[in-house]
């Protein structure tokens, strides 16, 4: 019988992943549907996916499931059969990764949460049953040509920076729960227009579309399957991509190339770049954008200080970070930390974000 949690270190698991002699398929899926006993659902799913050697991150809640995983390609049909036989998941859309080397995950983690997307909604009248209308890639492109269309990006700043739809509006917040009321407030002047919401794989914009309808908006759409599904349809149907740049993804790849456009800049030197990385100093792990030249200069670190620490023997590094609370090393902090350097290099005045 399979254990219900991992007992091997991440380092060992990652080494084992790169020793595999078969290919993996990275995919994501979600579904809003009622789960009566989320804990029991989680345990049953863990046992089944463990047997299929599935890796990835799955969240289960009473409102549904949200998953980003990699499946051994030779087990892909068996995986589909298992999922489609779960009550509520029959015919589920699976978003297959566009730019995939199969090395996205190296361990299986399934967690029970209060919600599959933390939204901050406490209104008992809110329901996911009333949501916006789906649009596919062709419909999305058609609506984008309409001057009465407003496109809202429901992703975080670090996702928007490396890639987005032409003309999309960024909701300037770092959490989805803050974005929802902000989006409703920002769209009040456009209440009679077509409002299209999009995100990475569809889960956030689907809930956002339901929230907008709940707040009285009428012509609300959301991109079915998000950017991942849009990019696949664009490729399959040979139509123009109105999404430019990279699609940030929440696994070890940190991004899928959608078009050749590089719309972001290195946070250290200001040159065009859109490769996200985590600072190699284990006492930092800041997420930021770094070009190849700066990666070489700073040895994969975010600053000279971290480069110097990273060069120390491991035991000395451990002593330095002992007892240090790193907090949340997320993108907005990286941006604030590296912005003065960017301004200096670009000859700009330092302005507060």
In the beta sheet, which residues pair with residue 249? none
Residue 103 near residue 17 (C-beta atoms within 8 A): yes
d(CA 75, CA 71): 7
Residue 105 near residue 180 (C-beta atoms within 8 A): no
Considering 199, 284, 291, 294, which one is annotated as catalytic? Answer: 199
The pair of structure tokens assigned to 340 is 């003065």
Quick check: is 301 catalytic? no
Task: List Cα–Cα distances, 340 to 166, 169, 179, 269, in angstroms.
Answer: 28, 26, 27, 11
Counts for the chain of helices (H) and strands (E), in that order: 12, 15
d(CA 148, CA 151): 10
* Positive or negative: CA dihedral 281, 24, 156, 351: positive
Long-range pairs, 72-75, Cβ under 8 A, ≥24: 72/22, 72/23, 72/24, 72/25, 73/22, 73/23, 73/24, 73/25, 73/102, 74/22
Grouping H, G, I as helix, E, B as strand and the rest as coil, residue 289 is: strand
DSSP label of 78: H
Active site residues: 199
């Amino acid at each position: 019988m399979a254990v219900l949690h991992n007992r091997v270190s991440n380092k060992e698991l990652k080494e084992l992943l790169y020793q595999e002699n078969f290919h993996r398929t990275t995919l994501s899926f979600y579904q809003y549907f009622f789960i009566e006993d989320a804990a029991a659902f989680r345990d049953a799913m863990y046992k089944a996916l463990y047997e299929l050697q599935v890796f990835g991150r799955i969240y289960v809640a009473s409102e549904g499931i949200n998953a980003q995983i990699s499946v051994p390609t030779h087990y892909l049909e068996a995986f589909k059969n298992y999922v489609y036989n779960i009550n509520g998941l029959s015919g589920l859309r699976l978003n297959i990764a566009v730019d995939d080397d199969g090395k996205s995950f190296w361990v299986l983690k399934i967690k029970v949460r209060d919600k599959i997307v933390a939204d901050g909604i406490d209104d008992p009248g809110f329901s996911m049953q009333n949501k916006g209308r789906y649009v596919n890639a062709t419909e999305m492109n058609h609506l984008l040509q309409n001057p009465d269309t407003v496109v809202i990006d429901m992703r975080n700043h670090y996702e928007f920076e490396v890639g987005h739809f032409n003309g999309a509006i960024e909701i300037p917040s770092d959490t989805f729960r803050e974005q929802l009321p902000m989006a409703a407030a920002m769209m009040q002047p456009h209440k009679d227009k077509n409002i299209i919401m999009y995100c990475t794989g569809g889960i956030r914009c689907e809930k956002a579309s339901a929230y907008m309808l709940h707040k009285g908006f009428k012509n609300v759409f959301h991109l079915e399957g998000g950017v991942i599904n849009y990019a696949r349809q664009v490729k399959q149907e040979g139509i123009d991509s109105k999404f430019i740049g990279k699609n940030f993804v929440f696994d070890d790849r940190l991004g899928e190339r959608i078009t050749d456009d590089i719309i972001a800049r290195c946070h250290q030197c200001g040159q065009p770049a859109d490769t996200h990385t985590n600072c190699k100093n284990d006492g930092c792990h800041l997420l930021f954008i770094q070009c190849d030249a700066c990666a070489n200069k700073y040895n994969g670190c975010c600053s000279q200080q971290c480069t110097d620490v990273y060069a120390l023997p491991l035991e000395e590094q451990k002593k330095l970070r002992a007892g240090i609370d790193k907090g949340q090393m997320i993108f907005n902090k990286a941006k604030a930390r590296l912005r003065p350097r960017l301004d200096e290099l670009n000859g700009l005045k330092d302005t507060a974000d």
